[in-house]
Structure 1
């Protein structure tokens, strides 16, 4: 079995690059990784995200989304997660079997 394409267009691992107010703040708690930094925004959410998965990108043209507004056709998914693992779409590519059922 060949894994051609695996890691294609993938960035090499690197240290987390976080901004701090100053040198002292960076050294104060090295495990903090900027979690309290005003320049860091976490996309995790306590509840779930609402999203719309369209078959074609042109289907989404002209839609406006406003925070807190109800939009027809939305689905809820936990964050962090992947919509493929939530059953909304099959995996895009894999040469290997997942160690769990899909």
Structure 2
């Protein structure tokens, strides 16, 4: 009698493990599906942002045109005071700050 109970118990545990594995496989499928949908959404959002044209005031003026209109004395002092590398350093600091905020999900 105990042999039959042991066989039924072994079969039940095997069946439970199969159901558990099927549930895990279904869960993995659903998470992959969610990741795929999010990827499609963000790809479409990126395409939408890229399709927005730049405003005219951004395309007609730039730092190169502003620096080319300055006199030689002003350009000399801009070079002595390292304004170009300073602007690059400010830009990289701002980019690092924004990246840090994105990586920590705007919590820091």
Structure with the largest fraction of strand: 1
TM-score (norm 1): 0.23
Structure number having the greater helix percentage: 2
Q: TM-score, normalised by structure 2?
A: 0.22
Greater Rg, structure 1 or structure 2? 2
Higher relative contact order (CA 8 A, sep 6+): 1
